[in-house]
Each structure stands twice: as structure tokens, then as C-alpha cells.
A and B are shown apart, each in its own frame.
Chain A
């Protein structure tokens, strides 16, 4: 199915290392390897989610794609053109095609601007609408996200968190983007407001044929909104699959552990929760071989030395890939957890 879809964004071997400076001369002594060589593709009109624990590089990936932080290396191709090769000026012009919605609705809008000023400025920067029509467009935008004209001249502090998030969404929409990166866009909201905002995002996707890169740690939300899901661990992709396969049939031991953490409402069903020991290792000196081997119940010597590549087995659905040496044996229950 995905083969017929058009590629919108293609990320190849993206790396984002943050230098750690130290000493009197401020020399770089080490790097935080926040994102360490990941590749994936986003197809037009789909919602691709990235999930993982905090610190696994989800947000960094989103920011690197938009060049809010300059990536260390790799390729980010938007409709076949490498964004990383653009000059700053050219990139700023291209930014109207891709926007971002942030996590914290209290920090993501300037407290000193009214809604009208916020949206007008966005239109002014990218000059998508002629000056005369800007006012009309601002009102349309507000109505699109479920706010009213009477709220145009209010300041952010007069709005609730959910409403502020709607303003942030309106700002992102204002320049007619094709891709929207939603960086934990609903994580800071109440559950009831979360549902409203997610439904709004879905509505907008249908209306404007948007493509979402949805970054979240909330598996319930991800399950509701995604078409495909990427699971990240310590700067690497460990599994990538369509939503159904991932939730029904996870292959990587980490994904299994992650999914087992979702609370269930079914009391009858016996749940086997996989508890992972220890903490996420430091991304400064990530473990050799498979990064998950320090916490994996199935790890062997091989895992410590050789890094597994993302691969697909015959039994897995098209497009479903996992990075584990022992997909088959774990699946067949031939391999028992080492406890």
C-alpha cells in the first residue's frame, strides 16, 4: 500500500551530536549522541509517530528535520530536495512548507502579542497572503481551530491551555504547510482537552491534506492518531511498523516491554508486564553493539558486539522492520529470557 504513496520527507542516516564543552579553553571533550544515524520516510497525507522514553531523541529528530538545531550529518529530503544543503535564506523561504506545534502551550506563544498580532506576523513573514486579505485570513484561521473572532484582540494569558494550543496550531497552519511536526503537542494538556485537540488535528488533516510527524511518549494517543509508528531507543530506531502490526505483533523486545506498560481496562485478561531493569544508559557513551543489550532479557554475546540492522522477516507485514538479532527465535519461544 505504501509503495503507491508519494514520499514527502525522506530522512537518511540523520545524526545529531551535541558537543560537551569543558576545561578552561572550552574544548569539546565529548558528544551527546542524541540521534545516531536514523533513516525513515514520511509519505504524503499520513501520520507517522515517534515514540520512546524521554531522552531517546524523539524531539531532537523533529527539531533536526526543521533545522531548529543544525544536524551533525545526514540527509533530510523534502520532496526530493535536501533541506540541509539549503542556505539559511533559502531555508527560511522553504519553512512555509513545514511547521511545528510545541508541547508547552504556556511557553510557545509570545505573552506580549495578541492573537491577531501573532497570526498576522506569521502571515507577514512568509507573505503567503496579500496584505489586504490578511485580516480576513486571520479570522478564518481562528475559526478553523475552533476559536472565535471576538477573541482576536486577547492576549495569551486570557486563554486556557487548550485554547493556547489551538492558537499554536493556527499559527502553524497560517502559512499553508504540508508537513506539521507535532512535538508532544498534547502531552501538557488535560485528558479531556487532549481528545479535543487530537480530534481537531485529525479534522485539519482531512481538510488540508496535512502530513504529521507526531512525537509523543503517550502510547494511547499515538494509537489513536497514527498510521505508522517508529519506536526509538537511545538515538536509534528499534522498530518501525504500521499501527496494527506494532500493537498486535511487536517484534523487538523493547517494543514488547513498552507496550506491556499500557494499562488495560480488561480485568479478566491476565497481563504479563515486562519490567526492564536499570535505567536508560547515557547517550554520551552508549553501549556497544545493540544499545538495548544492557537491559534486554534475551541479550547474548553477539548483542554486545554487533549492532543489529533494521530488517523484515517473512512472517512480518510489508513495511514492518525491527532491529534485533533474534526476532525469529524470540518469536518461536526458543529463546528464554535470561533472568
Chain B
């Protein structure tokens, strides 16, 4: 063959072929690195993860040990963030609560994203009546504000951390379903899907091997951003007394406890509040950066 391109390729065959997956991830990483707020977000997330994993080994006090003689102490060298109305060390409680917060955020999003992605991909791929039924159900869920829906679900299931996770997961399903459905619709029109059909590939093979790998980017971005929302919702539900039950050191519940002492001991509410803000901000900043990095239209 006298195809010049082919001849050129032959002479270059020593060069190791680059994998587009790794190349794509390198590109995204490069873009992320140039985005300052995304890097701050990433650093905060890593910090939170480290605290969640190793923090409990280094916390100065046990989170649930009461010390009635030292209750409502302001921050000092003994108690960095002060003590609450039972004399428990707030710094230790926040460290122990990090794990709970991150666990609720990650697991509820993992659950919601899995179910939502599956529903969305089925809806988009098969279309027709099945699509209408699934998406109308999603519309119903979407019609409620997220926190209200979670509130309703927790009130039905009863207040506990596991139920909070389930409730937040359910309220996140429609968001993932919609994103996945849209991406599926655009990918399934491509000719290589038709080529697989012409070869006689099963629907399952087409969906999982050919559609899903090509629609992951928007799902990853949405998942990262939704972790922030999930953390906030979980704190909100605990604040209302529907989430973690005392004495669990959940940030939202701690914030709620501190509400009664806002005048004489504001630190009881202040530090859990700051912790929530930091966690939410970290995931939002990183998620925003990730979205820009995945967008092929953004140059830098």
C-alpha cells in the first residue's frame, strides 16, 4: 500500500502506542493542576480523609467522656475548641465526626449514583414507554426539594444514620438518572453502536462495554459535587434530630446542641459549623474544577 500515512506510521512503530485513557486522564490532571481552587479543594479533601482515618488515634480525649466540672469551657490549651454542655472535648468530637460525615457523603452518593446511572442508562437506551415511566417517576422525585424529600423519607424510616444515607441516596437518584440518560441518548446514536448491533451484540454488552465507558465524565463530576450536598443534607437532618442520635459526634447534631448556648458559649456551635463549611467547600471547589477539566471546550 502506498498510503503515506501508513508508511509514516510504520517508520514510527518503535514509539510505544499511547493509551487514550491514560492520555485523557493526564490531560485532565494537567488542567486540574492549573486550577488553584480545585487544588485547594483537593488538598482539603485529602486532609479530611487523613483526619478521618488517622485522627481518632491522636485525638486528645475520648469523644464521649463527660466531665461535668469542665462544661462549656472556652477554647484553651487543654481543650483547643473548648468543651460542650457535658464537658466533652469538642476538638476530639469533631475529629471523630469526620469519619461519619465522609462516610455518609460517600456512601449515599455511591448508592444514589449507582441506582440513578442504571435507571438513566436503561431509560436512554431502550426509550419508548419504559423511558417515559422511569423519567416520570424521576420527575416526581425531583419535584420535591432534596432536603424535604430526605426529611420525609427519614421520618418514615425513623431517625438513624443508615436511614439518612438511604434518604439522601434516594433524593439523589433523579439527578444521576437525568444526566446519564442525556449522555446515553447522544452516545447511542453513534455509528459504532449500530456496528455492534449489526454484529449481533447483546443489549447488555452494548450498554456496559460500549455506552457506559463513554459517559463516565459527567457522572464523576456530578458525584463529586453531590458529596457536598449530601454532607450538608446529613448535617441538616442530624440538626433536626432525625439523623445521628446522641451521643454520636455528628457535626450537624453538635451544631444543634450548641444552639442553646449561643450567647454564653458560642464556640460549641461555631467549630462544628466551620467543619461542615470546610467539608462542603472542599467538595464543591474540587467538583467545579473537575467539571472544567472534563470540559473539552475549556482550554486551560
Task: Give A contacts to B, CB under 8 Å.
Answer: 26, 63, 66, 68, 91-96, 98-100, 102-104, 107-112, 114, 121-122, 125-126, 146-148, 150-151, 153-155, 157-160, 162-163, 168, 171, 175, 193, 196
- Starting from the known contacts A94-B200, A108-B191, A196-B1, 4 additional A-B residue pairs (CB-CB under 8 Å) come to A98-B198, A112-B214, A146-B3, A175-B199
Which B residues lie within 8 Å of A171 (CB)? 195, 199
Say which residue of A66, A111, A147 sits within 8 Å of B198 (CB atoms). A66
The reply to whether B195 and A100 contact each other, CB–CB distance below 8 Å, is yes
10 closest Cβ pairs, A-B complex: A92-B200, A95-B200, A108-B191, A102-B191, A160-B5, A150-B13, A107-B191, A146-B1, A154-B17, A155-B20
A196 to B209 CA separation, bound complex (whole angstroms): 32
The reply to whether A168 and B195 contact each other, CB–CB distance below 8 Å, is yes
Q: How far is the CB of A150 from chain B (nearest CB, A)?
A: 4
Known: A110-B210, A196-B3. A93 touches B190 (CB 8 A): no
User: Of all chain B residues, which has the CB nearest A200?
Assistant: B1
User: Of all chain B residues, which has the CB nearest A155?
Assistant: B20
Scan residues 276-294 of chain B and give those whose CB is less than 8 A from a CB of chain A: none
Scan residues 178-218 of chain B and give those whose CB is less than 8 A from a CB of chain A: 190-192, 194-202, 205, 209-210, 213-214
Known: A95-B200, A171-B195. A148 touches B10 (CB 8 A): yes
The reply to whether B197 and A68 contact each other, CB–CB distance below 8 Å, is yes
The reply to whether A103 and B191 contact each other, CB–CB distance below 8 Å, is yes
User: Of all chain A residues, which has the CB nearest B198?
Assistant: A100
A104 to B191 CA separation, bound complex (whole angstroms): 8
Q: How far is the CB of B245 from chain A (nearest CB, A)?
A: 46
Q: How far is the CB of A1 from chain B (nearest CB, A)?
A: 31
B260 within 8 A of A: no
Q: How far is the CB of A232 from chain B (nearest CB, A)?
A: 21
B297 within 8 A of A: no
Scan residues 125-179 of chain B and give those whose CB is less than 8 A from a CB of chain A: 132
B62 within 8 A of A: no
Q: How far is the CB of A8 from chain B (nearest CB, A)?
A: 17
Most A CB contacts (10 A, CB to CB) among B18, B132, B190, B205 go to: B190
The reply to whether B191 and A147 contact each other, CB–CB distance below 8 Å, is no
The reply to whether B194 and A93 contact each other, CB–CB distance below 8 Å, is no
The reply to whether B199 and A125 contact each other, CB–CB distance below 8 Å, is yes
A151 to B199 CA separation, bound complex (whole angstroms): 23
The reply to whether A93 and B200 contact each other, CB–CB distance below 8 Å, is yes
B19 within 8 A of A: yes
Known: A111-B20, A163-B3, A196-B1. A95 touches B199 (CB 8 A): yes
A153 to B213 CA separation, bound complex (whole angstroms): 19
Which B residues lie within 8 Å of A125 (CB)? 196, 199-201, 205
Which B residues lie within 8 Å of A94 (CB)? 200
Q: How far is the CB of B222 from chain A (nearest CB, A)?
A: 20
Say which residue of A148, A157, A162 sits within 8 Å of B20 (CB atoms). A157
What total of chain B residues lie within 8 Å of the partner, measured CB to CB? 30
B299 within 8 A of A: no
Which B residues lie within 8 Å of A168 (CB)? 195
A160 to B1 CA separation, bound complex (whole angstroms): 14
Known: A148-B10, A155-B17. A102 touches B1 (CB 8 A): no
Most B CB contacts (10 A, CB to CB) among A91, A108, A110 go to: A110
Between-chain CB contacts (< 8 Å), 24 pairs: A68-B198, A92-B200, A94-B200, A95-B199, A99-B199, A102-B194, A108-B191, A108-B194, A108-B195, A112-B20, A112-B213, A114-B17, A125-B201, A150-B10, A150-B13, A155-B17, A155-B20, A158-B18, A160-B6, A162-B5, A163-B3, A168-B195, A193-B3, A196-B3
Which B residues lie within 8 Å of A95 (CB)? 198-200
Say which residue of A109, A114, A146 sits within 8 Å of B6 (CB atoms). A146
Q: How far is the CB of A2 from chain B (nearest CB, A)?
A: 27
A98 to B191 CA separation, bound complex (whole angstroms): 16
Which A residues lie within 8 Å of B132 (CB)? 26
Which A residues lie within 8 Å of B17 (CB)? 114, 153-155, 158
Q: How far is the CB of B1 from chain A (nearest CB, A)?
A: 5
Most B CB contacts (10 A, CB to CB) among A122, A159, A193 go to: A122
Q: How far is the CB of B25 from chain A (nearest CB, A)?
A: 12
**Per-residue CB proximity of B1-24 to A under 8 Å, as 1/0?**
101011001100100011111000
A125 to B213 CA separation, bound complex (whole angstroms): 19
Q: How far is the CB of B238 from chain A (nearest CB, A)?
A: 42
Which A residues lie within 8 Å of B197 (CB)? 68
Which A residues lie within 8 Å of B195 (CB)? 100, 102, 108-109, 168, 171
The reply to whether A122 and B199 contact each other, CB–CB distance below 8 Å, is yes
Most A CB contacts (10 A, CB to CB) among B194, B200, B210, B213 go to: B200
User: Of all chain A residues, which has the CB nearest B210?
Assistant: A110
A151 to B1 CA separation, bound complex (whole angstroms): 15
Q: How far is the CB of B248 from chain A (nearest CB, A)?
A: 44
A107 to B9 CA separation, bound complex (whole angstroms): 22
User: Of all chain A residues, which has the CB nearest B17?
Assistant: A154
Say which residue of B21, B192, B214 sits within 8 Å of A109 (CB atoms). B192
A114 to B19 CA separation, bound complex (whole angstroms): 9
User: Of all chain B residues, which has the CB nearest A175?
Assistant: B199
A49 to B200 CA separation, bound complex (whole angstroms): 25
The reply to whether B3 and A68 contact each other, CB–CB distance below 8 Å, is no
The reply to whether A163 and B6 contact each other, CB–CB distance below 8 Å, is yes
User: Of all chain A residues, which has the CB nearest B21?
Assistant: A112
Q: How far is the CB of A111 from chain B (nearest CB, A)?
A: 6
A154 to B210 CA separation, bound complex (whole angstroms): 18
The reply to whether A110 and B192 contact each other, CB–CB distance below 8 Å, is yes
Which B residues lie within 8 Å of A121 (CB)? 199, 201, 209
The reply to whether A151 and B9 contact each other, CB–CB distance below 8 Å, is yes
A122 to B200 CA separation, bound complex (whole angstroms): 9
Which B residues lie within 8 Å of A150 (CB)? 10, 13
